[in-house]
Amino acid sequence: MSKQQISIRETTMAEKIAEKMPKEKIQELKQMLKEKKPDEPVEKVLVNFCERHAVTLGTCRQYYERLVEKGEVK
């Protein structure tokens, strides 16, 4: 399997996991993003969230991208 195929497969799995994210986790991520320092990168918040909930960074990015698409976070 090529690196590209693996990357696509990981993205698909992250999307499936992100679809089933409990509302409590969504609220927690929104709160963490709201409380982040202005100079703190979003990636740092995502890494902390991933560690707490034992999910991949790809899944965390999916959560974040959906919140941005909905206009719930900047």
Range of 44's domain? 3-69
Q: Decide if pLDDT at 17 tops 60.
A: no
Contacts of the segment 28-34: beta carbons below 8 A, 24+ positions apart? 29/60, 29/63, 29/64, 29/67, 30/67, 30/72, 30/73, 33/64, 33/67, 33/73, 34/73
User: Is residue 17, in this structure, part of any structural domain at all?
Assistant: yes
In-domain check, residue 74:
no
pLDDT tier for residue 1 given thresholds of 50, 70 and 90: low
pLDDT band at 6 (very low <50, low <70, confident <90, very high): very low
Number of domains forming the structure of the chain: 1
What is the pLDDT at residue 8?
47
For 50-74, write each residue's pLDDT tens digit.
Answer: 899 888 888 888 888 888 998 988 7
Identity at 58, one-letter amino acid code: G
